Amino acid sequence: MLIKRREQNLSADYLYKKDTKLINFDDFINKELVLFSKTSTQHAISSIMDGLKPGLCKIMFICFRKNLIRNIKVAENPAYHPGEQSLINAIVDPAQNFVSLNNINFFVPAGQFDYIFTWYSLALSLFNNDELLLTYLSEDAELNLCYKNFTGENRFLDNDCSNNVISVVYVKLDKIFINKTDLPFDTWTPYYKETVLETKFHLKRNDITPTILDYK
């Protein structure tokens, strides 16, 4: 309903008005619940430019504006509205650096995270000050981890060690065999064969060259 109104250049039709006394299920779903789904989707999808979600973008902006080279309570500065617990998770999760979490942690995992004191680690090298002057390119196959359940969608991108990604790129350029001994965390061999190897080996279109000739 909201998409159809936008296509017709109409404003959003909200459910509750001054004279509203009763509502039916169709109006509740099409006018009220759809607003939650829209907002939930906007906060759950990572940006194609940098792989960051809106909440993390605000936190990163504060880190650069305050020049966080020492620990500071980041939660006091960003204009973050969804809730305190969401803000804590948005700061704590990018700081975790133990196995199976982040390939590169943006913040330093220091102190007690109940007080969310932290500062940036490699973020200053990854996001340069002159990026606004550059021409952005749409890159794929970048390091990224995005797992989120939101309305109508369940998305997961495999996280991997940055050194492994670099080594695979070298192998790809040298056109030699790839010897992969470890699978991503929480991934079983049959599932990996079905969703990764088979899709690159048996292609649905004949005009596309397969990226994998054989595997065993």
Question: CA torsion 85→123→163→192, rounded to 10°?
Answer: 30
Q: How far apart are CA 125 and CA 17, in angstroms?
A: 50
Q: How far apart are CA 35 and CA 71, in angstroms?
A: 37
Which residues, listed in sequence order, are joined to residue 120 by a DSSP beta bridge? 107
Catalytic residue flag (residue 192): no
Pairing of strands 117-118, 147-150: unpaired
- Of 16, 80, 115, 192, the catalytic one is 115
**CB contact at 8 A, 206 and 194:** no
Q: How far apart are CA 181 and CA 96, in angstroms?
A: 25
Buried-exposed string 62-92: b where 16+ CB fall within 10 A, e elsewhere = bbeeeebeeebebbebbebeeeeeebbebbe
CB atoms under 10 Å from CB of 164, counted, come to 13
Length of the chain, please?
A: 216
**CB contact at 8 A, 115 and 72:** no
Active centre residues (catalytic): 115
